[in-house]
Chains A and B, each alone.
Chain A
Amino acid sequence: MLLKRIVVCLDVIGERTTKGIRFKNNVDVGDPVVMARDYYLQGVDELVFYDITASAEKRGIIIEVVRRVAEQIFIPFTVGGGIGSVDDMKEVLLAGAEKVSINSRAVRNPGLIEEGASLFGKQCIVLGLDAERDATMSSGYRVVIDGGRTPTGLDALSWAREAENLGAGEIVLNSIDADGTRAGYEITLTRMISEQVGVPVVASGGAGKIEHIADIFEKGKADAALIASMVHSMGYTIWEIKKYLSERNIAVRTDCYTDL
Chain B
Amino acid sequence: MTIGVVDYRAGNLKSVETALRYLDFRFIISQEPEKILKTDRLIFPGVGEAGSAMKVLERTGLGEAIEDFARSGKLILGICLGCQIILDRSEESNTRCLGLIGGIAKMFPLDSGLKIPHMGWNRVFGRQEHFLFKDIPAGASFYFVHSYYPLPNLKETEIAYTEYGLRFSSALAHENITAVQFHPEKSGQYGLLLLKNFLNRKE
Q: Is the CB of B192 within 8 A of A74?
A: yes
Whole-angstrom CA separation of A260 from B196 in the bound complex: 11
B137 within 8 Å of A (CB atoms): yes
Residues of A with C-beta under 8 A to B22: 71-72, 74
Residues of B with C-beta under 8 A to A170: 119
What interface size band does chain B fall in? 35 or more
B79 vs chain A, min Cβ distance (A) = 13
A43 vs chain B, min Cβ distance (A) = 8
- Bitwise, A67-96 to B at CB < 8 A (1) or not (0) is 000111011100000000000000001111
- Bitwise, B109-127 to A at CB < 8 A (1) or not (0) is 0000001111111110000
Q: Is the CB of A75 within 8 A of B163?
A: no
Q: Is the CB of A200 within 8 A of B120?
A: yes
A70 vs chain B, min Cβ distance (A) = 5
Residues of A with C-beta under 8 A to B137: 255
- Bitwise, A47-80 to B at CB < 8 A (1) or not (0) is 0000000000000000000000011101110000
- Minimal Cβ-Cβ distance residue in A for B144: A2
Q: Is the CB of A96 within 8 A of B189?
A: no
- Minimal Cβ-Cβ distance residue in A for B135: A260
Q: Is the CB of A74 within 8 A of B191?
A: yes
Residues of A with C-beta under 8 A to B188: 40, 43, 74-75, 256
Q: Is the CB of B117 within 8 A of A74?
A: no
Q: How many A-B residue pairs lie within 8 Å, measured between CB atoms?
A: 97
Q: Is the CB of A169 within 8 A of B119?
A: yes
Whole-angstrom CA separation of A43 from B189 in the bound complex: 10
Q: Is the CB of A70 within 8 A of B14?
A: yes
B186 within 8 Å of A (CB atoms): yes
Q: Is the CB of A199 within 8 A of B115?
A: yes
Query: How would you classify the secondary structure of chain B's contact residues: helix, strand, loop or mixed?
Result: mixed
Whole-angstrom CA separation of A44 from B106 in the bound complex: 31
Q: Is the CB of B141 within 8 A of A1?
A: no
Q: Is the CB of B18 within 8 A of A123?
A: no
Q: Is the CB of A253 within 8 A of B141?
A: yes
Residues of A with C-beta under 8 A to B158: none
A160 vs chain B, min Cβ distance (A) = 13
Q: Is the CB of B117 within 8 A of A95?
A: no
B202 vs chain A, min Cβ distance (A) = 20
Interface centre among B140, B143, B188, B190 (most CB of A within 10 A): B188
Q: Is the CB of B14 within 8 A of A223?
A: no
- Minimal Cβ-Cβ distance residue in B for A93: B12
B142 vs chain A, min Cβ distance (A) = 9
10 other A-B residue contacts (CB within 8 Å) besides A75-B188, A123-B145, A260-B189:
A1-B163, A40-B188, A70-B15, A74-B18, A75-B143, A122-B117, A198-B115, A253-B141, A256-B190, A258-B190
A-B CB contact pairs (8 Å), 26 listed = A1-B122, A1-B163, A2-B118, A5-B120, A45-B121, A71-B18, A71-B22, A74-B19, A74-B22, A74-B185, A74-B186, A74-B191, A75-B188, A94-B14, A95-B14, A96-B18, A121-B11, A121-B48, A123-B119, A223-B115, A253-B141, A256-B188, A258-B190, A260-B189, A260-B190, A260-B192
